[in-house]
Structure 1
Amino acid sequence: MTFRTKSLTNPARADVDAPTFGFWRVGTRERQHAAIEALADAWEARPWPASALRTYSVFAGSDGTTLLHYSQWADEDAHRVFTRTGRDPRNEEVFAAVPGIERLGSTSYRLHRSRVDDPATTAGCVVIVLRRFDKPDPDRARQLIDTLFSVPAHTPTPGLLSAHFHVSTDGSRVLNYAEWTSENAHRAAVADRPQEIDDNAEWRKAHSWPGLTSTTVQYFRPALTFVSRDTA
């Protein structure tokens, strides 16, 4: 049975081995809102789709044009089997309600490292930092994350609640799912970053990593989270 919950997904769940992140481009804030409403209707009206699916969450891009889909799967094989069975009727219902949605792809990851600064506060914003490499190399991707974690934390970062670093299963991407109190808190932290961090050799090394082709930052607000009775 499908339940909608106000609680956010825990990215560090021990029973999740294949988190997937996908993006849709919807075009406008009005269409973004309509797509979220259609997703809520489609999921609440149907039974939970697969026992290996732990949670499914939707986030609205602050730019008003995108949606982030975050699914937690028990293992990658279960996700592959699910996607091979054909079109999901939930998505088909959404596409009928909001024609012209552009699917930008979905990627499977594995969680590599996490830091949790404030587990008690609910995030008002999720910041997705996506790093892409010139070719797949899981070891290189994991080493970049380890280097970021080696940079000393001089003081707690105001507004940062947690950060969860993932490596795509082919090793071509690193995705940081970071929970913040607000988008403004993240922007302030970037603007006010201490000079000693910018001067740190490991920090500079991580941001000029060999083979790193791009780094993008996107802001999202929580919109929907669904769980089943068995996986909550």
Structure 2
Amino acid sequence: MPATTTITAGAPVATLINVFTVQADRQRELVDLLVSATEEVMRHLPGFIAANIHASDDGTRVVNYAQWETADAFHAMLGNPAAQAHMSKAADIADHFDPHLYAVESVHHR
């Protein structure tokens, strides 16, 4: 069974949340780039679990919510030349981006 995004407090994963600010007329371009980068490169790297690309309704934000088995796996990806090429293109499209690793502290359901 393929790995899927699981949001559970205390889960032993490294969660990347990267918020991109983008001009509305370039939002689709950035989404398409992140989707192709995930399909072509990221999902094949050791430690990758899942990625989810979100586009804001107003066109000014794109969010990448990705999970890696460990922070070390995430940091190894940062050194991968193919990943770096895609990240450089994303940086050229976006006005600003703010990537951080997070731990899920709390999950609530109805």
Task: Give the TM-score normalised by the residue count of structure 1.
Answer: 0.38
Compared CA separation, residues 187 and 196, structure 1 to 2 (3 A): closer
Question: Hey, what's the Cα distance between the residues in 2 that align with 1:154 and 1:119?
Answer: 14
Greater Rg, structure 1 or structure 2?
Answer: 1
Deviation at 1:127, TM superposition (A): 0.6
TM-score scaled by length of structure 2: 0.73
Structure 1 vs Structure 2: percent identity of aligned residues?
A: 25
Unaligned residue ranges in structure 2 (runs of 5+)? none
Q: Report 1 or 2 for greater relative contact order, CA contacts < 8 Å, sequence distance ≥ 6.
A: 2
Please give the secondary structure, in 2, of the residue aligned with 1:184.
Answer: helix
Partner of 2:101: 219
1:138-217 alignment runs, 5 A limit: 140-151=26-37, 152-153=40-41, 156-191=44-79, 193=80, 195-198=81-84, 203=86, 204-209=88-93, 212-217=94-99
Aligned length: 102
Contact 2:42 2:48 in 1 (8 A): no
Q: More helix by proportion, 1 or 2?
A: 2
What does 1:1-232 align with in structure 2 at a 5 Å threshold? 118-119=3-4, 124-133=13-22, 135=23, 137=24, 140-151=26-37, 152-153=40-41, 156-191=44-79, 193=80, 195-198=81-84, 203=86, 204-209=88-93, 212-228=94-110
Give the structure with the higher percent strand.
1
Gaps of 5+ in 1: 1-116
Please, what is the CA RMSD of the aligned residues?
2.6
